[in-house]
Amino acid sequence: MNSYLMAAGVLAFIVGLVHSVLGEILIFRGLRSRGIVPTDGGQLLRERHVRILWASWHVVTVLGWCVATILWWLAQDSSLSQSHEFVARAIAAAMLVSAAFVFVGTKGKHPGWAGLLGVAVLVFLGERAR
C-alpha cells in the first residue's frame, strides 16, 4: 500500500468536504431565501446565475471526491503500472494548477490552495516512493 497516495486521497476528500460545508455556511446561506437551491443574488446576480454558481460549487466537491476515490484505489497497489502513473501524474498536475489558480485568484488569502498543493505534493511523493 502506498501511504502517500492514501494520504493524498484522504486530504482530497477533506478538502472537498470543507469546500462544500463552508461554502454553504459562508456564501450560500445568505443567498437562500427558500428551498435548498439559493436564488437571491441581490442587485448583482440574477437567479439563474446564483443557481449555476451553487451547482458548480458542489460539482467541484463531487469531482474532488472522485479524485480522492481514484487516489485511494491507486494507493492499494504499491507497484504502479504505466497507466496508473499517468493517472497519478494527471491528478498531481491538475491539483497543482488548481492550487495556483486559487492562490493567484485570492492573493493567497483563501486556504484552499494549501490543501490542493498538499494533494499534489503527496501524489508526487507517492509516485516517487513506488
92 contacts 127 by C-beta, under 8 angstroms: yes
User: pLDDT 10s per residue in the chain (130 long)?
Assistant: 899 999 999 999 999 999 999 999 999 998 888 888 988 888 888 999 999 999 999 999 999 999 999 999 999 986 768 888 999 999 999 999 999 999 999 999 999 999 999 999 999 999 887 7
Look at residue 43 and give its three-state secondary structure. Answer: coil
Per-residue DSSP letters for 7-38?
HHHHHHHHHHHHHHHHHIIIIIGGG-SSSSS-
| Count: domains in the chain | 1
d(CA 12, CA 15): 5
DSSP state of 44: T
Q: Which residues form the domain of 35? A: 3-129
Which pTM value belongs to this model? 0.88
User: Crossing angle for the helix pair 47-75 and 112-129, nearest 10 degrees?
Assistant: 20
| The pLDDT value given to residue 95 | 97
Give residue 35's pLDDT.
Answer: 87
Rounded to the nearest 10 degrees, what angle do helices 3-23 and 82-106 cross at?
40
126 CB neighbour count, 10 Å cutoff? 24
Q: Are 50 and 41 in contact (CB under 8 A)?
A: yes
The cell numbers describing 6, all together, are 492514501
- The tens digit of pLDDT for each residue in 59-86 reads 999 999 999 999 999 999 867 688 889 9
pLDDT at 58: 96
